[in-house]
Every structure is written in structure tokens, then in C-alpha cells.
A and B are shown apart, each in its own frame.
Chain A
Amino acid sequence: MRSRFDIRHYSGFFAITCACLFILYAPLIVVMIYSFNDSLSITTWGGFSLRWYADVFTGPESEKFKLAAWNSLSIAVMAASVATVIATAAAIGMIRGGKFKGKSASFALISLPIMVPEIVTAVATLIFFSAIGFQLGTLSILVAHIVFCIPFAYLPIAARLQGIEASYEEAAQDLYAGRWPTFRYVLMPIMGPGIVSGFLLAFIISLDDFIITNFIKGAGVETLPTAIFGSVKQGIKPNIMALSTLMLVFSIALVTLSYFIGKRGADPDTTA
């Protein structure tokens, strides 16, 4: 049923929608199409081919990319895991902790990394690491990633927990479950979709990060985004398009997964 205030009746709605979609997605589509280009040039179409995908895995730069991909994936898994544990604990403290002094300040602190310009965080992190004499390398990337992943993991987990009535935990305690069994057998399974969503979001954010990583990675350590950047600096080759397309597909798959997991049992109380 269409309401009288249906946004589709606004004049120019269709044109603006098309313009927005075009601006947002045209570059991505161009990259995807040209990743299948047979030509050496990145602008002239030379027929359909998968040669640049093969080049990503076997070409002259493949060793560099494989190492960078391994770094990216291992850092993303570890950073997202640690960030998810911290974010879950933070969410339970914030939402089930009742009123406490400095609650708003705590929330601001948790979500600050989202709001602070990333370049500022990057410079600050670099200065901090050099000030304490922390060796730049894989470990420094991991520590930085854990920190900026926390708010991204926190948001879906906290949103989920907010929708869960406290009476489930009370019922568990009433039925002789102590604190840990209450969390393990009741709260965590009900929060599960939120925790998985938070993990996947943190994972994507870590996988995707360039600015902070580029500042603190130290010499010789590359993640996929910094490796791509390094490669592009010497001119854009079609293999970068293929690599970018692969990353895009991987990200979309994870985000979609996160969406469906979050949606499954989105409202625990209506299904109870």
C-alpha cells in the first residue's frame, strides 16, 4: 500500500537515486569489468580474459601479494578475535552494569576511534609506539588493529544485548546457574548472532585498513592494502584490478554473512 507521503512522489527522486547509485558504484563496476581485460593497458578493452587473475597468483608480484594476504588475514583474525572478546565484555558492563559514574564517558571512550580522523589516530599511534620504544612490525600492526576494531565489534554486540531482556539471565540464576554458567549457557548463545556480526565487522575493518597500518607497519612488513598501494605507486597494472575485485567479492561475502547472521533471531524476545 502506498501512503500519501511515499518518498517516490517527490520530484526528482528517480534522477537523484540514479545519480547516487552511478557515482557510488560506477567506479567499482569499471574496475570489475576491466579486471577481465585481456589488454596490457588499463583503459583499452582487448577482449575477455582471466590472465590477470592468474597473474595475481603466479605473476612476478604474486609472492609479495601472497605474503601480504597472509599477513592481512592472520592479523585480521587475531585482531577481530581479541577485539570481539573485549567488546563483548564492554557491552555487558555498559548495558548490564546499571548506572555507574562515568558511563557516558566510557561510551565516548569506546566509540572514539570511530569519530577521530584516522590520520590523527595513525600519527598518534606511531608517536606512542616510538615513545615507548615498541618495535614496529607485525605485532605493532596487531595491537593497533585490536584497538581500532573494538568500537566496530562493540556496536552490533551492544545493539544485540540491548534487545535481550534481563529476565533470561535472572531465570538462569534462579535455576542455580552462577555467573559464568549464566553467560556460557544462556547469555552468550542468545547474543551469538550479535557477537558473530561484531567479529565479522571487525575482521573486515582490519582487513581493509590502510592509513594506520601504513604508518606503523615498519619496514618490510606489508598487508594487502599497503602492498597494493606500493604496487600502484609504480603505475596501475591490470593485476591490481583483479586483486581489488577479489578483495571486493570477499568483503561483500563477509558483510552479507554478517547481515544474515545478525538477522537470524534479530529479535530474541519475539521468538521466545
Chain B
Amino acid sequence: MTAPAVALKNVRKDFGTFTALRDVSFDIADNEFFTLLGPSGCGKTTLLRMIAGFEETTAGAIFLYGDEIENLPPDKRPVNTVFQNYALFPHMNVADNIGFGLRMLRWSDADIAARVKQMVAMVKLDSFAHRMPSQLSGGQQQRVALARAMAPKPKVLLLDEPLSALDLKLRQEMRAELKELQRDTGITFIFVTHDQEEALSMSDRIAVMSAGEVQQIGTPSEIYEFPANRFVADFIGETNLLAATVQSVDEHRIDCVLAGGETITALANQPAAPGQTGYISIRPEQLTLTGSKPSGDSLPGTLDGAVYLGTDTQYTVTLAGDLRLTVRMQNSQTGAVPLQHGGPVHVSIADHAARFLVD
């Protein structure tokens, strides 16, 4: 079995009295598109900078394909970084920027020229090789930064929020291109972002981070459908979080009582005991609104508002006990049901859609 691309063992980072990372351990597999996702200040960029070698670890160890790299300076680590602000050298043209790493690695001039040519073709900037960075658009600079970091054939490519400076349309295009590039080159990508949509759309696996700790690691669908805790459920996508108390437990199925007295059956990924308090998480698109009581289980409530969003409409419903729910339904399905503002409605929950989470 081959060693993981990157292995983190009990990594800790303190800045003075502030702990940026506490006891982080996980493996990133070879050839994986791995994303570190979290709000600003969660430690994801610090972790990336530690892998690149720009920050020292306070405790713990980092392994690259089985070799401990802790004592190597950044220029001795076979990883390259795409910086958030690109950091293209302003006094060098595109070709010299891309060839810089190769020059430092003492490749021959002919090899550098061939590799640079290949890289500018890869990022579709063939006719821009002699432009200066200041003469390029943001998207083009981004591609140069990518080509420059990939030219020396790094074992792992680190990407620090590389798309955050681009406008929405370009960002969406680049997502697809990045994913394709990763698949074609087979290089392990470690991608840092605070944008959950970016993370969900590109990653093989995601580590959700908060306050210097990893909250959950999993595939995009695992993270979205089976969030490990309240933070992950709330941070990834939209969700309804309702305070609940466990009533009875049947293996992974848990019956919970809400503040208004209704009972909901939810799935739990951790053992729970009757009397325990926690949260029920239900995604808005797993709820259906009807004007009359449906045949299955439902919760009665009052419709407070509706916001038209094109493909969907988002409804706000108040349940007994002053609980608020957000419901999102596709407009093609709701056309037949006229719902009255302020009127009584019934909310039904899709099978296996509710999750019980502890804090």
C-alpha cells in the first residue's frame, strides 16, 4: 500500500496565546482533490501554509508520501502553491514566471522552454507568453499562477482560495477547469476555500474546519446528507435546526420531541439516550407544503411568507411552539397548490430526511 500524499499527525499551531490549530490528524490520499473548508479564522490557510513550509508546527508532524517534511524549508519541499493574490512576479513576463521554478531546479534551457510551452498551452495562454502580468486580466493571471505552480510537476499542489478574486461567472468556469486539470494530471490537489458551493462541486473529499479543529471529513454527499454536528449542518448548505429532546431510541432511529410537542423520527450518527437534548436538522428541500392535511405524517403550521427564487420558491412557516421552518419547493411542483399567506399549512418531511445532531 502506498503512503498517503499528505499525513497530518496531531498537528498543533499556536500564534502567541492564540491557538490556530489544535491536534489535527488526517490523511490525504494520492491523486485526491481534497478541500479544506471553513469560515475565515478556522485555521485552514494556516494548515496549508504549514504543508507548504511557510509556518512551523508547534507540535505534531507532517508527512509527504511517507517522508517527514517538518525540517525542510519551503524551497526543499516538492509541493507548489497557487497564492490567493497569485503573487506573479511583476518584473517577469508570463513565460519567465512559469519557468521560474524550473530555472531554480536547474533544468536545461531547452527543457524549460519545452515545459513552459506545454504549460501555456494547458492554460490556453499561448499568445500571451510575452505579456507582463500587469497586462493580463484577473482570470488570465489566475491561469498563469496555476501554470507556474504546476510546471515543476509538484507531488502536491496547494491552492489558497485561488478563485476568490474572480467574478462569479469566471469562478464557475474555473471550477470545472480545475477539476478537469486535477483529473488529467493526477496531481494531488489541496484546495482551501470558505465557499461551500466550490467545495461541494469540485472535491473528492472535504474536511470541514472550525475554530482550529476538523469537524468532519467526508465526500461532498456524506457531508451534506450526514453532517456530523450542528456546525457542519449549518455551514454546508441551508438547514432548519430545531431544538429537540430524545424520547426513545431504536438503533439509529430516534424519536424526538420538539418544543411544540410534536414528535419527529430522525436518524442519528452517534449513540443517543432518552432525555438527551440536541438538534433536529432538516434541509429545506426535503420539506413539502400542502394546504390540506396529507395522508402521511405532517406538522401543522402557519405560512408567514414566500420568496420567489426562479426555479424554487422559499416559504417560511411557523409551527406550534413558535418554531420557524424554511421550506424550499420547485416551482413546477407547487403550481397546482395555491397557498394562502397567513393561512394554515401542513409540512411533511421526506423519508429519512431528518437528522438528530448533538451540539
Task: Tell me which of A177, A189, A272 contacts B88 (CB under 8 A).
Answer: A272
Between A and B, 14 residue pairs with Cβ closer than 8 Å are: A167-B85, A170-B54, A170-B83, A170-B87, A171-B87, A171-B89, A174-B53, A174-B75, A174-B81, A175-B149, A178-B75, A190-B89, A190-B91, A272-B141
B86 sits at the interface (CB 8 A):
yes
A271 sits at the interface (CB 8 A):
yes
CB contact list, A182-196 vs B, under 8 A: 182, 185-186, 189-190, 192
- Residues on A with beta carbons closer than 8 Å to the beta carbon of B88: 171, 272
A265 sits at the interface (CB 8 A):
yes
**Chain A binding surface SS class:** helix
**Judging by beta carbons under 8 Å apart, are A272 and B90 in contact?**
yes
A46 sits at the interface (CB 8 A):
no
Q: How distant is the Cα of A167 from the Cα of B104 in the complex, in angstroms?
A: 17
**Judging by beta carbons under 8 Å apart, are B74 and A168 in contact?**
no
Kindly report which residue of chain A lies nearest to residue B88, judged by CB atoms. Answer: A272
A268 sits at the interface (CB 8 A):
yes
Given A174-B80, A175-B148, A181-B104, CB of A165 within 8 Å of CB of B87 = yes
B-side interface residues, number (CB < 8 Å): 28
Chain A residues with CB under 8 Å of chain B are 165, 167-168, 170-178, 181-182, 185-186, 189-190, 192, 265, 268-269, 271-272
- Rounded to whole Å, the gap between the CB of B179 and the closest CB of chain A is 23
Most buried by B among A170, A175, A190: A175
**Judging by beta carbons under 8 Å apart, are B134 and A271 in contact?**
yes
Kindly report which residue of chain A lies nearest to residue B154, judged by CB atoms. Answer: A174
Kindly report which residue of chain B lies nearest to residue A271, judged by CB atoms. Answer: B134
Task: Tell me which of B53, B100, B133 contacts A175 (CB under 8 A).
Answer: B100
**Judging by beta carbons under 8 Å apart, are B85 and A173 in contact?**
no
**Judging by beta carbons under 8 Å apart, are B85 and A165 in contact?**
yes
Given A171-B83, A174-B75, A174-B80, CB of A186 within 8 Å of CB of B101 = no
- Rounded to whole Å, the gap between the CB of B139 and the closest CB of chain A is 15
Interface string of B65-97 (1 = CB under 8 A from A): 000000001111001110101111111000000
Task: Tell me which of A165, A176, A190 contacts B104 (CB under 8 A).
Answer: A176
Across chains A and B, which 9 residue pairs bring their CB atoms closest together, nearest first?
Answer: A175-B101, A167-B87, A176-B104, A171-B87, A173-B74, A271-B134, A272-B90, A189-B91, A177-B104
**Judging by beta carbons under 8 Å apart, are B83 and A173 in contact?**
no
B152 sits at the interface (CB 8 A):
yes
